[in-house]
Structure 1
């Protein structure tokens, strides 16, 4: 394997468990880097770690083993996968037929994830480097998986890519598969789709939402891929008003209703500008007993662009006006652009600004099958709050 000289600071960092290789870690730029190559990181000629080259804009590669003499073969990766799968056993015993089996660097291989959707297993490659080793990794994965129906892959780094069947490992590939989560069904998109269509890590939020919508009017804002609408309706909501800016969300919502045998008679669905809807709802003094909102890192709007760091407080202040007395509000985000602490601060300021008093019922982070590499991140990218109006 090629040897790459790193700085003393980088050597200490990698020996401590930090997995991501950046340009500042190198003594000199890599000459003729080969995407996907396995390399040995050295400091003053002494081996430090084994890694692979990713050569994306900010991520040059990922450390795979602090043992620089480690042979990076199928046996090594099979052990890595099996170790991760054992950790998922308590999760797979729960009332869900979908689970994140492998979560990137938190499980030992940065740049890839593995999801099991009722036996349909999807491998997602996050960079071209790890995808170059797909033959080796898929062979190791097949050896480690106790059982599966079909194996698929997705090149997430390629904006035009769709989910494809792995040759020789998908005897009967499916375009969709039904998964079940505590009695709620979801239709997962597979062959030919750009994404599965459901954030599995939102599972704990859906669970609490379903328990708290009986007989209530529910507003779901930016619900795309969250599964909130079905959870609210199966929880007994008398009406859901569902607002999304992405046109394709409508198709997904129809599939969500069909797989749960819901006729949509208790729904009002709108594909429109979020700020435009909030202005409309305030003008008409609409009130809801449960509100969910999934805040993206940013979005473009005719009423002004949104950046979660700068604009979350103002947006949540508008939302506060729509909450009925004793309303439950679920605020989530899938981005690491905002910490849970900052989300909590902005939420408190927003409701105080509107003269509303709230109490925090719970907070959310990724469930057990989405472990976080704490050497790389302080907390999971996904986070959320459940607050209740108490004025």
Structure 2
């Protein structure tokens, strides 16, 4: 394995556990090779093993800080075996069979996540560099997880027109594959870029179902395929209103309701811009008891541009306007660049602008299966504030 000299500042952060490699960490970048595994050194003294890759964030990841480690099939197999052992309670949970099996840099392999859907596994690859070693990694996985129905690949980098989602090993999954979460049923599409079920929101949906929805009128903005609305309905909501701009998601919402024996015709489902609906609701004095907002990090349309980092306060003001006094608002985001502190500041700003006060009831972060590296704050990306409007 080739040695690559790094600067002293980089050596310090890598020794402390920081996992992301950046070109600026290297003494020279002339020999940057996609997918190359290297030994990072400072003054020719070992610091860490890692690999280089072009990706959306950084230029590679750390594998190990143990000089005695060998980065081979056995190395990866041990990581996958640890992941399997750490999720024993989920594998035996009769009410849930969809969860994160392996969470990238949080468990030792930045650039790769693996999700479990009722004995099917979806490998999501975030750069070509690591994907070049896919056969070794698939074999290592099969050594650790000896029984499965099938493996799917989801490529989240520029594939230059090649298929980005496909089966790798085993049997084809049904389309859709019906999975369980907290006793609810959801349709998952393993052969698509997104399966339709955001697994990191499992605990929030459980809280909505068990604590917040009963007897409430519920608004779910940016509702995707409606899993949150289903949780609210099963939890006793009087009615849910789900709004998403993508027409494809409208049919999927209806499917999710029907899977849980809920008549979608008795719910309100709108395929339209959420910001436009909020304007409509304010104009017509429509008020909700529970409002759930989980906007994308960035939205650009003919009428507006929205960034969670800059504009969440304005979205929060709109939410306040359509929420009953002493109602509940759940403000959520998976934007890694927006810290929990900054999100709280935007929400506080919104309430101040409305001359209103609030009580923070609880905060949700990633569930325990989404293992994170404490030195890499961006990896703990999910933030949900449960707010009571005073």
Contact in 2 for aligned 1:238/1:266 (Cα 8 Å): no
Contact in 2 for aligned 1:288/1:323 (Cα 8 Å): yes
1: CA distance between counterparts of 2:77 and 2:35?
18
Q: Which residue of 1 aligns with 2:369?
A: 369
Q: Which residue of 1 aligns with 2:272?
A: 272
1: CA distance between counterparts of 2:151 and 2:56?
29
2: CA distance between counterparts of 1:333 and 1:257?
24
Q: Which residue of 1 aligns with 2:101?
A: 101
Q: SS where residue 265 of structure 1 aligns? A: helix
Q: Which residue of 1 aligns with 2:260?
A: 260
1: CA distance between counterparts of 2:383 and 2:144?
31
Q: How well do the aligned residues superpose, as a CA RMSD in angstroms?
A: 1.9
Are the structure 2 counterparts of residues 287 and 312 from structure 1 closer, same or farther at C-alpha, using a change threshold of 3 Å? same
Question: C-alpha displacement at 1:2, in angstroms?
Answer: 1.9
Q: 1:2-17 counterparts in 2 under 5 A?
A: 2-17=2-17
Question: C-alpha displacement at 1:79, in angstroms?
Answer: 0.6
Contact in 2 for aligned 1:214/1:238 (Cα 8 Å): yes
Q: 1:223-238 counterparts in 2 under 5 A?
A: 223-225=223-225, 227-238=227-238
Q: 1:119-268 counterparts in 2 under 5 A?
A: 119-158=119-158, 161-166=163-168, 169-191=169-191, 193-211=192-210, 212-225=212-225, 227-268=227-268
Are the structure 2 counterparts of residues 348 and 59 from structure 1 closer, same or farther at C-alpha, using a change threshold of 3 Å? closer
1: CA distance between counterparts of 2:360 and 2:209?
18
The superposition leaves residues 251-304 of structure 1 with CA deviations (integer Å, 9 ceiling, x where unpaired) of 321221232232212212112222221111111100111111112212113432
Contact in 1 for aligned 2:148/2:170 (Cα 8 Å): no
Q: Which residue of 2 aligns with 1:67?
A: 66
What stretches of structure 1 of length at least 5 have no aligned partner?
Answer: none
103-112 or 339-348, larger mean C-alpha shift: 339-348
Question: C-alpha displacement at 1:125, in angstroms?
Answer: 0.5
1: CA distance between counterparts of 2:181 and 2:19?
33
Contact in 1 for aligned 2:55/2:157 (Cα 8 Å): no
Question: C-alpha displacement at 1:247, in angstroms?
Answer: 2.4
Are the structure 2 counterparts of residues 272 and 57 from structure 1 closer, same or farther at C-alpha, using a change threshold of 3 Å? closer
Question: C-alpha displacement at 1:368, in angstroms?
Answer: 0.2
Are the structure 2 counterparts of residues 278 and 201 from structure 1 closer, same or farther at C-alpha, using a change threshold of 3 Å? same
Are the structure 2 counterparts of residues 170 and 275 from structure 1 closer, same or farther at C-alpha, using a change threshold of 3 Å? same
Are the structure 2 counterparts of residues 351 and 226 from structure 1 closer, same or farther at C-alpha, using a change threshold of 3 Å? farther
2: CA distance between counterparts of 1:152 and 1:58?
24
2: CA distance between counterparts of 1:283 and 1:371?
44
The superposition leaves residues 162-204 of structure 1 with CA deviations (integer Å, 9 ceiling, x where unpaired) of 42111xx21343332111111211111012x121111101011
Contact in 2 for aligned 1:150/1:173 (Cα 8 Å): yes
2: CA distance between counterparts of 1:346 and 1:61?
32
2: CA distance between counterparts of 1:307 and 1:182?
32
Q: Which residue of 2 aligns with 1:81?
A: 80
Do residues 54 (structure 1) and 56 (structure 2) align? Answer: no
Do residues 330 (structure 1) and 333 (structure 2) align? Answer: no
The superposition leaves residues 8-27 of structure 1 with CA deviations (integer Å, 9 ceiling, x where unpaired) of 22222222222111111111
Are the structure 2 counterparts of residues 61 and 378 from structure 1 closer, same or farther at C-alpha, using a change threshold of 3 Å? closer
249-258 or 204-213, larger mean C-alpha shift: 249-258
2: CA distance between counterparts of 1:379 and 1:51?
18
73-82 or 346-355, larger mean C-alpha shift: 346-355
2: CA distance between counterparts of 1:183 and 1:375?
35
Contact in 2 for aligned 1:202/1:226 (Cα 8 Å): no
What stretches of structure 2 of length at least 5 have no aligned partner?
Answer: none
Question: C-alpha displacement at 1:146, in angstroms?
Answer: 4.8
Q: Which residue of 2 aligns with 1:289?
A: 289
Q: Which residue of 1 aligns with 2:38?
A: 39
Q: SS where residue 151 of structure 1 aligns? A: strand
2: CA distance between counterparts of 1:265 and 1:255?
11
Q: SS where residue 237 of structure 2 aligns? A: coil
TM value normalised by structure 1:
0.93
